[in-house]
Amino acid sequence: GAVVSQHPSRVICKSGTSVKIECRSLDFQATTMFWYRQFPKQSLMLMATSNEGSKATYEQGVEKDKFLINHASLTLSTLTVTSAHPEDSSFYICSARPLLRRLSETQYFGPGTRLLVL
Amino acid sequence: AQSVAQPEDQVNVAEGNPLTVKCTYSVSGNPYLFWYVQYPNRGLQFLLKYITGDNLVKGSYGFEAEFNKSQTSFHLKKPSALVSDSALYFCAVRDNGGSQGNLIFGKGTKLSVKP
């Protein structure tokens, strides 16, 4: 149980285009989903926290107009990188925290999306 | 400020030997501590957590971790390492200062197990 999927797993796009990444909790409902960014050989940096039906909370330094987050349901959150540039190339990882109380302290992570902007 | 420190960038052990991956933390309030493992080009897999209760926590794949309040540590251990344990290990603490319960991660420790 507690499986999180991400789609796509890898995407290559041209500079200036927008890319949407989906994060789904497959076998549980998630009150909260988190979006992280990981640079090579570095730790995960929290970008934003999304709650179903409300606006996302962005970490300091993260542009909310560039990284659009939509949390349409208890099982789906999307991250859209708008007008992508080469510096946006990174590994994006989402996680979900279950609605079920006894599991709610643990975040379950998706497999990540590798974005390469040319 | 709450933080997690993993003092070792890399840990090398021989297969069959015990392994320890170190983690220390600094939090306000009760610490909620986690260990995750990441294989190349993959997301993080949950190993174990300490919320309350016994200081020795047992997790997936034979791993365990010991919560030590006086030393503010939560070291990850395994009695006998396998080559397949080679991966990147992250210690994390829940951000008690925030309302969303997000995690604060250490920088990661690369574990290399040689045959």
Please give the pLDDT value at position B36. Answer: 95
Please give the pLDDT value at position B100. Answer: 66
Give A106's contacts in chain B (Cβ within 8 Å). Answer: 34, 46, 49
Do residue B51 and residue A105 have CB atoms under 8 angstroms apart?
yes
A110 in reach of chain B (CB within 8 A): yes
A54 in reach of chain B (CB within 8 A): no
User: Would you say residue A103 has pLDDT above 60?
Assistant: no
Contact of B109 with A44, CB cutoff 8 Å: no
Model confidence pLDDT, tens digit, residues B68-102: 999 999 999 999 999 999 999 999 998 766 656 78
Residues of A (75-94) whose Cβ lies below 8 Å from B: 91, 93
Q: Which of A35-44, A49-58, A90-99, B10-19 tops mean pLDDT?
A: B10-19
Do residue A108 and residue B46 have CB atoms under 8 angstroms apart?
yes
CA distance B49 to B62: 14
User: Would you say residue A41 has pLDDT above 80?
Assistant: no
- DSSP conformation class of A65: T
Q: Count CB pairs under 8 A between chains A and B.
A: 56
A25 in reach of chain B (CB within 8 A): no
Chain B residue whose CA is closest to A92? B43
Please give the pLDDT value at position A98. Answer: 84
CA distance A82 to B22: 39
Do residue A44 and residue B90 have CB atoms under 8 angstroms apart?
yes
Residue B20 has which token pair?
Answer: 């320890």
Give A44's contacts in chain B (Cβ within 8 Å). Answer: 44, 90, 105
- DSSP conformation class of A16: T
Contact of A96 with A73, CB cutoff 8 Å: no
**Nearest-CA neighbor of B2 among B35, B24, B34?**
B24
